[in-house]
Structure 1
Amino acid sequence: MSNYQLPITNYQLPITTMQCPNCGTKVTIGDRFCEECGTPLAVTIPNAGDRCEKCGAGVEAIDAEGYCSNCGFRREMQTCDRLEITIQSNLAGISDRGLRHQQNEDYLACAKVDGKNAYVLVVCDGVSSSQKPELAAKVAAEKASFALCAAIQKGAVKPQEAMKIAVGEALLSVCDIPYTNGGDTDPPSTTIVAAVVVDKMATIAWLGDSRAYWISPQGSQQLTKDDSWLYNIVSSGKMSEIEARKYPEAHAITRWLGVDIGDNWHPSIVHFDIPGSGYLLLCTDGMWHYAPDPSQIAHLVKEKSDKDAVEISRSLVEFARRKGGHDNITVALLSL
């Protein structure tokens, strides 16, 4: 295992709340149902039961690595074929296994920061060639989301510094996943794209080829640049995109979150002044592969502009599935 370590930032995570999409009652991140009306807050379809297989403790007793806090038994991590998250009508996301992969190795997290005009979106795509990619994506998305919410709510740092803290925390969580040295698979790793929106300013960070787009009636654009062999070779002018896609390296990423990333873990960060109404979309390559140009994704979103965020997200996922669903598909959408 690498000797490379990141400094651990110590702070108390606040209780971050959001609203039930049905009745508007405040609920806490981690709640599965609204206590007021019973509406599900995150719809998951696992392959097996969530309870401890040894003592029967509920899902709340199972930590991120599968250990039961009641009896210590560790079960094999179960995959989530489909995850739907609705924070409120303008913020939602979906992660879907797709049609070809045996398990879903993507994950997402979304939140509205309590007491602030701020939103958080995180999308991760576990690297299939690594060990436990589904767990890497899950812990990275959850840790980054909580760290962003904590930093923004405390107001002690600017969004860019909050993003650096969040990505560092996400990296630590991935590095903490046990793995086997040697063999044909790499240590656990995942891509990440994260956004925090405070008032009319979006701060976006990424490692890998999961993307962020801005979509509006005035124009749409890709806000991130892929950390990939394909992007590097095309942007250098050495090949056209058509030529580069013929090479086996075309789908290789050049940066990621994982113990083997070394000193190259610092994310790329951009700031985007939100010019007016529109949509901020984060997605994995299982989505954008079928609509790589911003105008293509914009067309899909605008077709459902009369719908709320979760309905638009569902339509994007179903589009990718109809196109073949060769990869896991994850989208997170904020309407502004």
Structure 2
Amino acid sequence: MDGVVTAGAPDAAVCPACGEAAGPGARFCEACGAVLAPAGASTTPDGTAAPSTGPADAAAGVARPAAPATPGEHGDPGDPDATVAGAAAPQGARDGAPDAADAEPTPCPACGGEIAPDGYCLECGARAPRERDHVERRASDDVGGVSDVGVRRRRNEDALALGTAGDVAVLVVCDGVASAPDSDRASRAAAQAARDLLVGGLGAVEAPAPDAGAWSRLLVAAGHAADAAVRAAVDDAASREDPPSCTFVAALAGPTLLVAAWLGDSRVYWLPDAGPAEQLTEDDSLAAELVAGGMTREQAERSRDAHAITRWLGADAEDATARTVATRPAGPGWVLACSDGLWNYGSAPDVVAGLVRDAVDRLGPDPVAVARDLVGWANARGGHDNVTVALARVAGPAGTDVAPGTTAEDDPGTVPTVRRRPAGSLAGGPRTAAPPTA
């Protein structure tokens, strides 16, 4: 948040809680919300604010420029898969201003003081909680997900939307591009529009046939619907030099077929109970270009531009046609869709599979509980980005002898799109998303 300027405040303060430098006249730390110089407070001989007690969750955070307040996701009324919105988020620093619609005249939960329009208490500097900080959703007993603001970001720009159509699960995850203000609006509009089209498209068929070509076309249409929803939702900001935008990943998962579609670097993994795990999607990013050029996954994902994406949804997107890939499960397993807030800390498919199996062993097969555990794991490792995990349990076909890992490329009846493009083949320059600081 921007510091509240008061007469007589020090010109240059250092936060006593996290050590971040503050701007001239600031009363509260922009990184963690701790009090810097309450009215009448003394200063030390070097001109910094005297030590004071900050909010209970004032852990060290990353100071980021204040973003404009925008409408947010408030429990998503009317959304059938919303089960817990506004539940207590995992512990950790929560820096930044809430959405404008969240700034209601309610007392500060820490001290009872007045909450300013920027979302911080005028008395103690604590940040008011925001519903979109932590959202848990369930579409069925086998389909659920969690989205969390993480530890270091000022707002949750991720969004997820879940659904079912018969025995087919629908998972959608969108990650707002942090370098473009108001991208939380873009991600929410995209996720909901895509989910609605996918559920409606499957539901329009009396008995949805597990046809990879038809499902791929439906997912491509969902990507276009998501792009149109982004442009409509941020119409007031579409003409900006850096308009709101987001990634897109979606999966349709049935007992005998799994099809995923994507733009950007949000991912879908297939994690069978038996056999090797697989990352189905291939990032649209500079890191993926480096891997295509021969660099190892580890080297590419540690590179400076690892999180610079090359395709996205939004007003300045040159191509909103999602790529698709299909696979036929040989047995039971999990489909996992996630934002890069999870795979930042464990990218390889076997690592992700190990996390899921460990969570299931401890917590049981509830997808929301497992997703919550994975989000907590990412936050415990720094939580430098928003974290979203969506899971669907797949029963697998009955009585089949398809070898584990068989993909749609092996089935002449399916039509997956190409999964890799040559490096440097994209029109225009890459879009750079704010990289994590892990």
Same fold per superposition (TM over 0.5): yes
Q: Distance in 2 between matches of 1:95 and 1:280?
A: 16
Residue pairs, 1:1-336, within 5 angstroms:
30-31=79-80, 41-45=83-87, 80-113=132-165, 116-155=166-205, 158-176=214-232, 177=234, 178-179=236-237, 181-182=239-240, 186-218=242-274, 219-237=276-294, 239-241=295-297, 243-245=299-301, 247-262=303-318, 264-306=319-361, 307=364, 308-336=366-394
In structure 2, distance between residues paired with 1:260 and 1:44: 32
Residue 199 of structure 1 deviates from its aligned partner by: 3.9
Relative to structure 1, is the Cα distance of residues 208 and 101 closer, same or farther in structure 2, using a 3 angstrom cutoff? same
**CA distance in 2 between partners of 1:317 and 1:301 (Å):** 11
Q: Say which is worse superposed, 297-306 or 141-150, in terms of deviation.
A: 297-306
Contact 1:118 1:197 in 2 (8 A): yes
Q: Per chain length, whose mean CA-contact separation is higher, i.e. which structure has more relative contact order (CA < 8 Å, sep 6+)?
A: 1
Q: Which amino acid aligns with 1:318?
A: G
Contact 2:238 2:244 (C-alpha < 8 Å) held by counterparts: no
User: Structure 1, residues 233-283: CA drift from partner, whole Å, max 9, x if none?
Assistant: 22122x444554564322200001111112x21111011111111100000
SS in 2 for 1:270: strand
Distance 1:132 1:45, change over 3 A: farther
Rg larger for: 2
Residue aligned with 1:172, SS:
helix
Task: Give % identity.
Answer: 35
For residues 177-232 of structure 1, the C-alpha deviation after alignment (integer angstroms, 9 at most, x for no partner) is: 1206455xx11110011011244211110000001111123221111101000111
1:16 match: none
The size of the alignment, in residue pairs, is 273
Alpha-carbon distance in 1 for matches of 2:131, 2:308: 24
Aligned 8 A contact 2:238 2:315 in 1? no
The residue type paired with residue 167 of structure 1 is G
Relative to the length of structure 2, the TM-score reads 0.58
Q: Where in structure 1 are there 5+ consecutive unaligned residues?
A: 1-27, 33-39, 55-77
Bigger fraction of residues in strand: 1
State the Cα distance separating 1:331 from its structure 2 match: 0.2
How many Å apart are 1:107 and its aligned residue? 0.5
Q: Separation in 2 of the partners of 1:240 and 1:110? A: 33
1:287 Cα deviation from its structure 2 partner: 0.2
Kindly tell me: are residues 302 and 129 of structure 1, through their superposed partners in 2, closer, same or farther at Cα, counting changes over 3 Å? same
Backbone CA RMSD of aligned residues: 2.6
Partner Cα separation in structure 2 for residue 29 and residue 128 of structure 1: 27
Provide the rounded CA distance (Å) in 2 between the counterparts of 1:110 and 1:182.
31
Aligned 8 A contact 1:45 1:80 in 2: no
Partner of 2:400: none
TM score, norm. by length of structure 1? 0.75
Q: Is the 8 A contact 1:208 1:256 kept in 2?
A: yes
Question: How far apart in 2 are the matches of 1:271 and 1:227?
Answer: 18
Deviates further, 265-274 or 137-146: 265-274
Q: Distance in 2 between matches of 1:252 and 1:259?
A: 18
Letter in 2 for 1:43: A
Taking the aligned partners of 2:159 and 2:240, their CA distance within structure 1 comes to 26
2:52 matched residue in structure 1: none
Are 1:131 and 1:179, in contact at CA under 8 Å, matched by a contact in 2? Answer: no
With over 3 angstroms needed to count, the CA separation of the structure-2 counterparts of 1:129 and 1:212, relative to structure 1, is same
Q: CA deviation at 1:50?
A: 6.4
Q: Which moved more, 1:99-108 or 1:296-305?
A: 296-305
Q: Is the 8 A contact 1:81 1:96 kept in 2?
A: yes
What CA distance in whole angstroms lies between the structure 1 residues aligned with 2:174 and 2:380? 22
Q: Distance in 2 between matches of 1:305 and 1:243?
A: 31
Counterpart amino acid of 2:245?
S
Aligned with 1:304: secondary structure? Answer: helix
Q: Contact 1:122–1:145 (CA<8 Å) still a contact in 2?
A: yes
